[in-house]
Amino acid sequence: MQHFLQEIENIVLSARKRLIKGPVGNKKSRGYGASHDFHGHRLYMPGDDIRKIDWKSYARTEDFYIREYTAERQMQVNIILDKSASMDFGEPNKWHMAQMVALGLSYLTLKQMDILSVFTLGDRLEVIREQMKGKKFFPELVPMIEKTVPDGCINIKSIMEWDRLGSGITFIISDFFVQDLAHVLDYLCSRGQEVVILQLLSPQELDPNYEKELKLVDIETGETRFIYLDKKTKELYQEKIRFFLEECKNLCECRDIKYVFCTTDTSPAAVVARGAGVV
């Protein structure tokens, strides 16, 4: 862990979009406020605060102009960690990778004094810890994430039932073996969230190394299928999984959502860096 945190120490999390709501903080917002960042002049309108009138401009133009400054807000980072049973798969394990990535992002958020909320996503969205600010929360957060055990099915729509999402970045760490991803992404975008999709798959999911007659058991549902796996079938599966990934990527790109795909044999620091937009 120590080594991992050292690796990501220099990464900075920043939103690509300007924040539109939330408490006053140190990140540029879309609105106008009382920061020192001058934005421009506009004609005085009745009802404006007369303290904002630029008297020097009045002396030159004999018109009243108001000086406007950019507002600064607090950025909120939401990390949604998929804890369905399908995450407990592969070698290296997907869940272990997802935990590391979630901890890394949490560390970066807390380090740069942004507000952090961490959720787990199973059959419903569960809060691990909300509205944390400052590095002091990190030691508390680590055991909470580590103790979480992947189990059950995923209900991604449960994200839409959560209405307390603050303005900022929402990281969703999952394998995205779901069906209604598009709706959820639409919902998050409509809430002004900058969404980052971190899709993790194990190498075995991309290239299954099984052979011959197999009874396939779904980890989440327990459903079974019989299949005779030969070279041609493997090739067909690989084609299907490539198509699935391509579909996920398209869903994100058409909504201007940052999409990061990684296999579990990648270094967690590299995944965090890609998620933060550094590389």
Partner 1 sequence: MRFLQPLGWLLALLLPLIVVLHFQKQQVVEKKVSYLRIWDQVIQEIEGAKSRKINRYLLLLLQLLIGLFIVVAFARPIWVSDFQGEKVTVALDCSMSMQSEEQDYSRFEKAKQELENYLKEMPQNVKIDLVLLKSTSKVILKDAGKNEVKEKINTINCTNEILDMEKAVDVLSSASCPIIVISDKELPFGDRQIHIGGSLENLGITSGVYDYYSQTALCRVKNYCSKSQTVVLQMKDEQGRREVQKLDIPPFAEVDANWTYISPETKILEFSIQESDMLPVDNTFLLPMGKEYQKKILLVGDDYYLEKALSSIPYINVEKRKQINHQNQKYDLIIMQKDYQAERDFSKNNVWYLIPPEEKIVEEKVGQAEPIILSNLLTKNLDLSNYSGEYETIIAENDEEVLMTAMGEPLIVMGNNKEGKYLYSALKWHNSSLPLLPQFPILVENIINCFFTRDDNQYQSGDYLYPIEGRKMKIVGPTGSKETLEKVPLILDTPGIYQITIDDDPVQSLIVNPPSGILCNEAKITEEMLSNNKETNFTGNIKLPSSVGLMKGIVMLVLVLLVVEWQVFKGEN
Task: Give the CA distances from residue 98 to residues 19, 68, 87, 139, in Å, rounded to whole numbers and listed in that order.
Answer: 27, 44, 8, 18
Asked if residue 221 binds partner 1 (CB under 8 A), the reply is: yes
Q: To the nearest whole angstrom, how small is the minimum distance from the Cβ of residue 156 to partner 1? A: 13
Is 26 near partner 1 (CB under 8 A)?
Answer: no
Binding residue for partner 1 (CB under 8 A) from 12, 20, 24, 216? 216
Residues 173-192 contacting partner 1, CB under 8 A: 175, 177
**Smallest separation (angstroms) from partner 1 to the CB of 213:** 5
Q: Which residue, 114 or 220, has its beta carbon nearer to partner 1? A: 220
Lay out the site mask for partner 1 across 61-100 (x = CB under 8 A, - = otherwise). -------------------------xx-xx---x------
List Cβ neighbours of 72 (8 Å cut-off, separation of 6 or more).
Answer: 24, 25, 26, 27, 28, 29, 33, 35, 37
User: Is 149 near partner 1 (CB under 8 A)?
Assistant: no
CA distance 100 to 88: 14
Cα distance between residue 140 and residue 88, in whole Å? 23
C-alpha span between 77 and 75 (Å, rounded): 7
- Only one residue has tokens 């198509």, namely 243
Number of residues near partner 1 (by CB under 8 A): 35
How far is 181 from 171, CA to CA, in rounded Å? 14
C-beta of 144 vs 227, nearer to partner 1: 227
What residues between 223 and 262 interact with partner 1 by CB under 8 A?
223, 225-228, 230-233, 236-237, 240-241, 244
Asked if 219 touches partner 1 (CB under 8 A), the answer is: yes
Minimum Å gap between C-beta 12 and partner 1 is: 33
Q: Compute φ and ψ for 16, nearest 5 degrees.
A: -75, -30
Tokens of 233: 């079938």
Q: Provide the minimum distance between the beta carbon of 236 and partner 1 in the complex, in angstroms, as a whole number.
A: 5
How big is the CA angle at 238 (ends 236 and 240), to the nearest 5 degrees?
A: 70
Min CB(220)–partner 1 separation in Å: 8
Q: Indicate the DSSP class of residue 135.
A: G
Stretch that binds partner 1, among 71-79, 117-125, 210-218, 252-260 (CB under 8 A): 210-218
Nearest CB to partner 1, comparing residues 128 and 178: 178
Q: Enumerate residues 6+ apart whose C-beta is below 8 A from 52.
A: 66, 67, 68
Binding interface with partner 1 (CB under 8 A): 86-87, 89-90, 94, 175, 177, 202, 205, 208, 210, 212-221, 223, 225-228, 230-233, 236-237, 240-241, 244
